[in-house]
Amino acid sequence: MRWNHPVLGVISPSVFIPVLESNGYITKLDQYIWEEVCKTIRVWIDEGIRPIPIAVNVTKTDVLAINVAEFFSDMLKKYRIPPKYLDIDIAKSTYLETHGALSETEAQLQQMGFRVILDGFDGNFVELSALGGIGTDQLKLDLRSAALQDRINALPGIFAQARTLRLNLMAEGIESTEQLNVLRKAGCAEGQGYVFSRPLSVDEFAKILKVGHSG
């Protein structure tokens, strides 16, 4: 999500998202984004473009304010898209702060066929178990977290433990080839970050999908 301001230019979400979170409008924005993603996936399918899964964020405010599972169920019906094309990213803080309200929502989303991902994992498997995050479909290991800053040597052990626990682990915040090389050697098969691409507009991203599809 980027705000393309007519005077100030492109504004990072780190600037305006906290404001929306503090005044309660974040859920309205989230619902708008969720529907725009579903609508875009429908357009890609109709144009013969094979989509890849797009991740959307669900916040603590969303879980407490609306029936998240019902909203996504309605989107599947409205835009006739398979749930495999939509990943639901839920921040670790949401697991901490919803006091169990999230567990039912998570189960409902998984039953509908969505992949639920715990975002912001820092490699602490004990905390993960206490949060109830073991039941998620995937964990996003945040390389930018305080626990992992300048600790690239810890990555092989974290991935080894994830395999032992049969947890699906990906990396986010990959910003250097050094990190990428260590992750590959550690057995990381999926990742995201600036080392692959800067943020793109929908049209730019669709062009990449078209090239990949034709290739």
User: pLDDT tens digit string along 96-121?
Assistant: 888 678 889 999 999 999 999 999 99
pLDDT of residue 28: 94
Mean residue pLDDT across the chain: 91
pLDDT in tens, 144-184: 998 888 888 999 999 999 999 999 999 999 999 999 999 99
| Residue 6 confidence (pLDDT) above 80 | yes
pLDDT band at 1; cut points 50, 70, 90: confident
pLDDT of residue 116: 96
pLDDT of residue 72: 98
Q: How many CB atoms lie within 10 A of CB 111?
A: 9
pLDDT of residue 212: 67
Q: What is the pTM of this model?
A: 0.88
Query: CA 215 to CA 195: how far, in whole Å?
Result: 23
pLDDT in tens, 15-31: 988 888 888 899 999 99
- Dmax (CA) for the chain in angstroms is 52
pLDDT in tens, 182-212: 999 999 999 999 999 988 889 999 998 888 6
pLDDT of residue 12: 87
Tell me which long-range contacts 50-54 makes (C-beta under 8 A, separation of at least 24).
50/209, 50/213, 51/85, 51/209, 52/85, 52/209, 53/84, 53/85, 53/86, 53/87, 53/115, 54/85, 54/86, 54/87
